Structure 1
Amino acid sequence: MNAALKRFRIVAWIVGTFLILLMFVAMPLKYLAHNDTMVSVISPIHGLCYMVYLVLAFHLAQQAGWKFWPQTVGLMLGGTVPIASFFVERWAHRRILEEHPQAADPKVRTEEPV
């Protein structure tokens, strides 16, 4: 589960970043400056990354044993609203670590050894 969580977290950040770029940089350039170059570049990248995000979110939810509604659907919709993927990623990370402590990265120690 650690690998699935790590993959999801990385893709969630990539999807969130490209969606922010699309909505707050490329779209204003398209409609205010009549320049759709950035939209034509960023939009397909975000679309491809979002498809990967959907697959990884579904896989992570299945491994975590979450119900399809609302956990899995909520996780999958996280990449559709600007900045939501960052919050959904953090929520999923915390929840998985609570439910499956073995998913914690063994290289990262949260407590000092006694």
Structure 2
Amino acid sequence: MFKTPIGRLRAIGIYEGISFLVLLIIAMPLKYYADFPQPVKYIGMLHGILFILYLLALAHVTWAHRWNIFKVLGAILASLLPFGTFVLDARLRRSGR
């Protein structure tokens, strides 16, 4: 899966999406309802690193496959929405890339 630019984008997108959901569903409630902020610090940092890697992988795919601005904006939007990277992964897998 990591051998091609699209494969790297898909893999990093999955990890980024999981970290986003863990941050939203587990870490944030722990911070605000249990007064336990440490998970947000560490999961948030991991999510930030994965988000940067996702953007770098997206830049590589954009350059290697000459994606147009709409595909790039769609991929960026997918990274900002919960479950968005999973939807993007399914579309990329379905399109045969």
Interval containing the TM-score (normalised by the shorter chain): 0.7 to 0.9
Q: What residue is the counterpart of 1:38 in the other structure?
A: 39
Deviation for aligned residue 1:37: 1.0
RMSD: 1.4
The amino acid of 1:55's aligned partner reads: L
TM, length-normalised to structure 1: 0.76
TM, length-normalised to structure 2: 0.88
The amino acid of 2:35's aligned partner reads: H
Give the number of equivalent residue pairs: 95
Q: Which runs of 5+ in 2 are unaligned?
A: none
Describe how 1:1-114 pairs up with structure 2 within 5 A. Answer: 3-68=4-69, 70-95=70-95, 97=96
Q: Which runs of 5+ in 1 are unaligned?
A: 98-102, 104-114
Aligned mates of 1:82, 1:14 — CA distance in 2: 12
Aligned mates of 2:94, 2:65 — CA distance in 1: 12
Deviation for aligned residue 1:76: 2.2
The amino acid of 1:81's aligned partner reads: L
Confirm or deny: 8 A CA contact 1:8 1:53 kept in the other structure: yes
Greater share of residues in helix: 2
